[in-house]
Structures are given as C-alpha cells and as structure tokens.
A and B are shown apart, each in its own frame.
Chain A
Amino acid sequence: MSTSTQHSGTPHNEGPATEPVLRIDHLKVTFATDGGDVHAVDDVSLSVAPGEVLAIVGESGSGKTVTAKTILGLLPETAVSSGAVLISGSDVISVSPAKLRQIRGQEVAMVFQEPSTALNPVFTVGWQIAEGLRSHGNVSRKEARARAIEALGKVGIPEPEKRVDYYPHQFSGGQKQRVVIAAALALNPGLIVADEPTTALDVTVQAEILDLLRDLRDVFGTSIVLITHNMGVVADLADRVVVMYQGDVVEEADVATLFAEPKQEYTRKLLAAVPHLGRNSASAGLTERAHQGGEVLVEARNLVIEYPGRLGSPGFRAVNDVSFTISAGEVFGLVGESGSGKTTIGRAIAGLNKVTGGSLKVLGHEMLNVRERSFRPVRRDIGFVFQDPASSFNPQLTIGECVAEPILITGDRKGPDVSRRVAELLEAVQLPAAYADRYPHELSGGQRQRASLARALALNPRLLIADEPTSALDVSVQAKVLELFREIQAEFGFAALFISHDLAVVDILSHWVGVLYKGRLVEEGIGNQVMGGPKDPYTQRLIASLPVPDPAEQARRRTARRELLRS
C-alpha cells in the first residue's frame, strides 16, 4: 500500500508521514428501515496515523457511530456498506469472517459508551478480558489470567490481582469504563475506537478517563478514534478533528485550527452553540442576589429526603440537611453529578417525592406529610418540564390535547377558548399552530421539549421546575431551547428551579446557583461567582474537571486541575 496521502486526510502534524493505522476510503453505509433505505454514511474518507487521536464529531444522525462500527465490522445485517476500510492492509468490509475475527481485538479494539451494558453481568471481568485473549491463539488459563491482571493494572484498577475475580456490578461506573478499556488493551491493538467513551459518566470521572486515554496514546503509542458529540472532550484529547453532518464529512482539520478558524458554516454554528463556561452567564454583572424583595416561593430548611430500603434494609438518604430559598422571579440553578439528589429535590417540590424530614415550604404549603388533596389546588401554580421529551407526552394524545390537559383539568376554559389558548402557547414557544394536531412521535426532540414548555406554562405558573430539560438534546437544539427558555422567563417573570448536571448550561440561565454533592448543598452563590471562584473543594474539583471547547484554554485548565488534585 502506498504511503502517500493523496486523499483528503492531512497527516499527523508532529509525526513523520508514516503508514496510517486506519484508512477509510469512500465509505458508504445504507440501512433498511421501516421508512425505506437510509443512507447513514455517504462517502466518508479519512485516515489515522500511528499515535494519533482523531476525533469524529457530529450530532445525532451524523453517521459518526455507524462509521465507528464499520471500522470493526460490527454493522447489523440490515446494513449494506461499500468503499474500503483498511486496517494494516486488510479491508474490513470485504475480508473473510475468520480474518475479521483476527483483526478484532488484535489490530483494533473498541471502547463502548455505556460501560454498565458493555460488560457481561454474569461473568467476572477477568473472564471477559481472557475471552478476548483466548480467541486469538492458544493461551493457557493461567497466562490469560496473568495478562488480564496486567491489563487491569495498566488502566489503574487498584489491586488487580484481587479485582480480576470481581463481577462488573462490584465496580463503580468509572472503574467499569476502565475495565472496558483494559479489555480493549489486552492484545495491544494499534488502534482503539472509543464511541462516546465518557458520555455516560460524570464530569469528574470523565476527566479521569480522558487522562487515561491520553496516557495510552503517550505511553503505548496507541492510536485512538474518538467518537463524540462533546466539543470539550474534543478540545481536551484530540489531535485532529473530522466533523460529520448527515453522513458526510463537512470539515477536517487539526484541533487548534478547527476551534480557532472553522471554515465551514456548519462547524461555525456548531461551535457557537456549545455552552462555554464563563461566557453568556445569566448572572453577569450581578454583585448580590437578585429578586430578593419579592415573595419567597420555595423555602427548604434542613430538608431530608430518604428512599425507603427494601425489606428491612436501611433507606437511602438522597437529600441530607439542605436549606435554600427561591424567590419570585428568580432562576435558581441546581447542579450536581449523578446521585447528588438534585432531581429528588425538584420532584419533592412538585409533590412527586415524599419529604422525610426538615421542612419544605412550596407556595406557602408545607410538604412534610402533605396530603395530595390539600396540595392539588397549589399545583396550578407549578409547571414542570421533564428531562426526556420522548416519554413526557402521552403517545395516544395529540400535542394540542397534551398542552390543553392542564387547562381542562382546572376547568377554567371551555371549547374554542381552550384551542385558542393552546395556539397562543405554541406560538410562545415558537411552534407552528398546526403542530397541535400532530402526535408526539411526529415531532423532533427539540420540538417536543418546546411543547413541553408550552404545557408547563399553560396556566401561567408562578414556579417552573425544569429537570435536565436539555440533556437529551443535540447541542445546536439545546442552544435554541435554552435561548427560548431565557426569553420566556424574562417575558413571563416566573420563578424557576433549573436542574442540570452541566455547569455551563446552568450558568447560562441561573441568577443563583447551588451545588449539590451526595445529598448536601456544598456551595451556593451568584452564578458567575461560583463558576469563577468556587470555594468548596468539591465545587473546585467539579469546575476544574469540566472541559471547555477551546484546546489552548483546556490545556491550561488541565494543568490547573492536576495541581488542584495534587494539593
């Protein structure tokens, strides 16, 4: 094979032009679906040099994951692919199944998005790593075990000799991802395809996994194809970036160039949509807490919420001794990682979770031992936007019926008056009035989340609770929904509790921010002050772990984070 790179890929900047580990030429993948054939990938060409980290970025439907699966020949039977995917001289697309099996694991390995599903729950991790070894030649049980222990040690699992006999559920999420990486490393493949390797993980864990992947490249010279939608992750790890949109490569550049001077319109828009910590803060210019003159709508005092344990085992304390207030007109941002209790607090305010101890006053109502009957009249003043736009609408009702539901329940309006109000609401969230007749599945995720907002606003609530309203959306859609949210909040003036795991997103909307960690409110303050100068060690770590979409700035932040962790 010729070493010259006459195709679109530019060689790795620092290294000499060597033979690429992976070369994809004019790849095309078509799927059969109920709605006819879908061209998931249209003419993609790229190459990866030894020791290079190539990021393939794109939103959902861009074809990035399909491209990744093609590299290992993992497409489902419904797919038809053409073109060439060359790994050390063999074309994965046309190679025999036996040869393909040999390539998998030995030449190229994969790291999956969801570590908890990528590990078989009924086998030990050692067995799973050894399976890969045994499929590639005669390896004795003892040797396979020794090499599994070695691989676990490489990825930083403590006490690998002991942990090799553990089952997946005995590891934490981040450790599971390390195990998945260890399994991929077992045969020292030259290339690792990492499909959204940190998307399922918390920010602080994400930073650790990114460090690990960087070490693999630096220490073992492993090339990495990094599939991601997260521009911060790209800025942190990638050497070169391929931007995909609807099955096509729209732009390819080294990471510094791409972020500094994006050439294509799509790339520019995409980068502009990414929330960047410290920019576009809702609390910019504030020096003291806003909206304090108004009525206090929510007041938590030493709030405790527990989930009952099963059959005599002790309960799980999700929220522990938390106190805060939300005043009329204020947007309170609640951030925290998984298990921090942020969603539980939001649900308790809406009366979906029981309060165990302390006090929680919502619009003057005490929620400790609240009775549904007495709380029901208060509900009309509370709107709720759920996280997953796909499941927050009754699939049997039209969008119009869904939005009208709160109005019909109160019985305030009747007949044409209701449909007029629905049209008004849809207009407010910038949806065409004709969408009232559509069913939820006929709308895109972003459109559904707008409709969800319309429904929440139907009765002009004084308090809106938004639980991760944009986490299921693509970046560009998220930016639009956030903008809409900001405008509508300014226009209607309701108070809001905005819950998110994403610090940058919270900062865009919130005047006041609270940081939750393991059920405790560790810090609260004006948004930009918390983000700019966190006081609590956890908040400091959290903010330092968040990758920003700017390679140069991210490199500085990375050093700063290391120092923070060392101290």
Chain B
Amino acid sequence: MTTLIEAPPEEADGLLPQKKSSSGGGLGKYLLIRFLLIFPTILILVTMVFFLMRITGDPITAALGDRLPPDQLQQRIHEAGYDRPVIVQYFEYLGQIATGNFGRTISDNLPVGGMLATYGTATLELAINSLIIALLVGIPLGMVAAARRDKAPDAVLRVFAILCYATPVFFAGLLLKLVFAVGLGWLPVAGRAKSANEVALTSLQAPTGIYWLDALRSGNMTALGDVAAHAVLPAVALGLLTAGVFLRLVRTNLIGTLGRDYVEAGRSRGVSELRLVTRHAYKPALIPIITVMGLQIAVLLGGAVLTESTFEWKGLGFQLAHYVTARDFIAVQGIVVLLAVIVALTNFIVDILAALIDPRVRY
C-alpha cells in the first residue's frame, strides 16, 4: 500500500469518531450519539417481539384456549382489551413499558415486573459467575495460544476452544452432572442452594438476591459453602462456552496486532517477546476484543436460558422455559423485552469502555 498519495477522507466504519477531533468534543459527542442509539435498538426489538407474538392471535387464547369455554374466553379477552386493534394495544404496551409496567402473567396472574425482579438476580448471579470463569480461562489462554502460535500449545488450545463452543451448554451441563454430581457425588445435582439455606437467605432484610453476596453479608458461612457448591457446575458449563469464544477472540486479535509494524518496531528496540505480547500488542488488540465481548453478552444470556433449565436454576431463563411450556406469552414477552434492554445497555457500556481505551477517541 502506497501512502504517498492523497486519498479523500474516508468514511470510517463504525461510529468511532476519527482522529481529527483534537478538541475534547469528540468523546462527548460520541458518548451522546452512542447513548441515543440505545433507544431505537430497544424500540426495534420491542416492536418486533410484540408483533411476532401477536401474529398468531391473542395471548389468552394461546394460554387458556383449550381449557376455558368460548364465552368465558371471550370475556377474559375483552377484559384484558385484546379485542381492540393491535396497533392500539401496541402503543398502549409501549406506554406501559416506559413506565416500567410489564403487565400480568396469564397462567399464574403475577405482575411480570415483580417476577423479573425476583428471578433477574438469579440470572445475574449465574451470568457474573460464568463471566468470571470465561475471562479467567479465555484471556490468558488466548494470549498463550497467540504467543505460541502454530506450536503444540496453540494446537491444543484451539481444539479446546472449538470443543468449548461446539458443545451445547445443556449437554456440557448433563455431562458435568453425570460425572461430578451423580457419579462422584461431589457437588449437588441442581438448584441454587439447599432449601433451608434458601429460606435463610431470602428472609434476610433487603436481600440482594445474589446468594453468595447475601451469605457474605449475613456471615452465614454454611450457607456460603452450600451456595458456592451449587454455583460451580452451572457456572462452569456456561463459563466454558463463553471461554472458548473469548480464547479464540483474544488469539485472533492478538495475532493480528502482533503482525503490526509497531510490534516489530518494539522488537527492533530489544523489547522482550513476553512484553511485546502482554503490553505492546495486547492493549491495541483489546479495543476490538472488548467490542466483540460486548456482543457475547447476548450469547451468554441465551446460554443462561439453557443452563438454568439444565440445572433448575430458578432465574429468568428457567422461568422463560416454564412460561413457554405454559404458553403464557405475556410473561415470555416481558422476559424477552427485559433481556433486550439488558443487552442494549451492556453493549452501550462496552462500546464506551472500548472508546476510553483508544486515545484516538479520547484526544
């Protein structure tokens, strides 16, 4: 590539502002625009989910159609307002969501918002646990694979990574259960804690809902041990799936930056290979890595649904599977919309993080 020649200022891909902004305005403007982009994203998903769920008919017929006589059914539909034009219902739904009202479930007549709050923390706990495992396993191993590229460690790690994401999380869970819970009997088969501990933890004053945090706060060490034992298998099953993706991501991007001129320039000044990998190449590689990791949150949440069903981990995913079976589409819609909001928010935060690492955006 010859750079002798002038080129018209190119549209850079993505939204990152380019280096021209030498004043501090670049970052502020970027943050604002990126923040505003959250809303259309959520709106699009909410709209899509709403209409897709309504194409087949009203939720009450879906849930109770085969259980109630037609006249009672009609009455309930009318009471809930599902006989009005869909577009009216849509705008009403948007208004409700904006005020935090997700409606009531049909099958057990619970407020969806409350259900989300109750079970959301369980999912959050699972997500945090497995994210920690994924980061601890994926990033260092990815660095090793990149540094020892095309050598034996790289070969082993690559096969490991592919195996990690080739194994469906529910099958990994099933194997883990067979070996460590049923076979060896080291760890519990399912659930978040023994029922006694569960009661103790949920009856605390202002519980966070994240059990290990609650156990720590109340100083209940037996409960903490129990919670930890229950958390291992689900976190490993879900964490390994994501670890495989992270490993590959770190490896690919690190190899990309290791081939850059500035790494060679560092090498030409006598910088050690280890430091080239861990400092010179790692930080520039981190920008795309973080962006893609943000997208992995979606995979993690999708995986959480399956993990929770496998381990009867009573979180949003477990509830989702439950309500899907019960054909309670208001509940399903609520859970899906909430997850969409979480995904949109995490992606926003991650993009900001990536921008903060990049001095070309900061200055």
Contacts and interface: CB of A to CB of B under 8 A. Distances in A.
Interface stretch (A42-50, A275-283, A307-315, A407-415): A307-315
B14 to A, nearest CB: 12
Interface string A111-141: 0101011111111100010011001100000
A117 B261 contact: yes
A117 B260 contact: yes
B270 A167 contact: no
B8 A347 contact: yes
A167 B267 CA distance: 20
A445 B58 CA distance: 66
Interface string B324-363: 0000000000000000000000000000000001111001
A284 interface: no
B8 A318 contact: yes
Given A118-B261, A121-B359, A122-B283, A131 B5 contact: no
A339 interface: yes
A136 B262 contact: no
Contacts of A106: 270
A152 B21 CA distance: 25
Tell me if A's interface is mostly helix, strand, loop or mixed: loop
A109 B268 CA distance: 6
Contacts, number: 137
Given A109-B269, A119-B262, A170 B4 contact: no
Contact of A122 (B3, B22, B263, B359): B359
Interface string A95-107: 0010001111110
A188 B8 CA distance: 40
A511 B25 CA distance: 48
B271 to A, nearest CB: 5
B6 interface: yes
Given A117-B262, A121-B284, A122-B283, A472 B2 contact: yes
A114 B283 CA distance: 21
A105 B261 contact: no
Contact of B3 (A118, A135, A184, A200): A200
Contacts of A312: 29
A489 interface: no
Interface size class of B (residues with CB under 8 A): 35 or more
B361 to A, nearest CB: 10
B184 interface: no
Contacts of A114: 3, 261
Given A117-B261, A313-B21, A316-B9, A136 B270 contact: yes
Nearest to B273: A97
Contact of B266 (A103, A131, A167, A170): A131
B4 A110 contact: no
Contact of B8 (A110, A124, A135, A343): A343
B262 to A, nearest CB: 4
A239 interface: no
Contacts of B267: 74, 104
B9 A387 contact: no
A167 B262 CA distance: 13
B265 interface: yes
B7 A112 contact: no
Given A122-B284, A132-B271, A112 B261 contact: yes
B200 interface: no
Nearest to B283: A122
Nearest to B149: A77
A474 interface: no
Interface of A: 72, 74, 97, 101-106, 109-110, 112, 114, 116-124, 128, 131-132, 135-136, 167, 169-170, 180, 183-184, 186-187, 199-200, 307, 310-313, 316, 318, 336-344, 347, 353, 387-388, 468, 471-472, 501
26 contacts: A97-B273, A106-B270, A109-B269, A112-B264, A117-B260, A118-B262, A118-B265, A119-B262, A121-B284, A122-B358, A122-B359, A128-B266, A135-B270, A170-B363, A187-B269, A199-B4, A200-B3, A312-B29, A313-B21, A318-B8, A339-B6, A343-B7, A388-B2, A468-B5, A471-B2, A472-B2
Minimum-distance CB pairs A-B, first 8: A132-B269, A105-B270, A117-B261, A104-B270, A105-B269, A110-B268, A120-B262, A338-B6
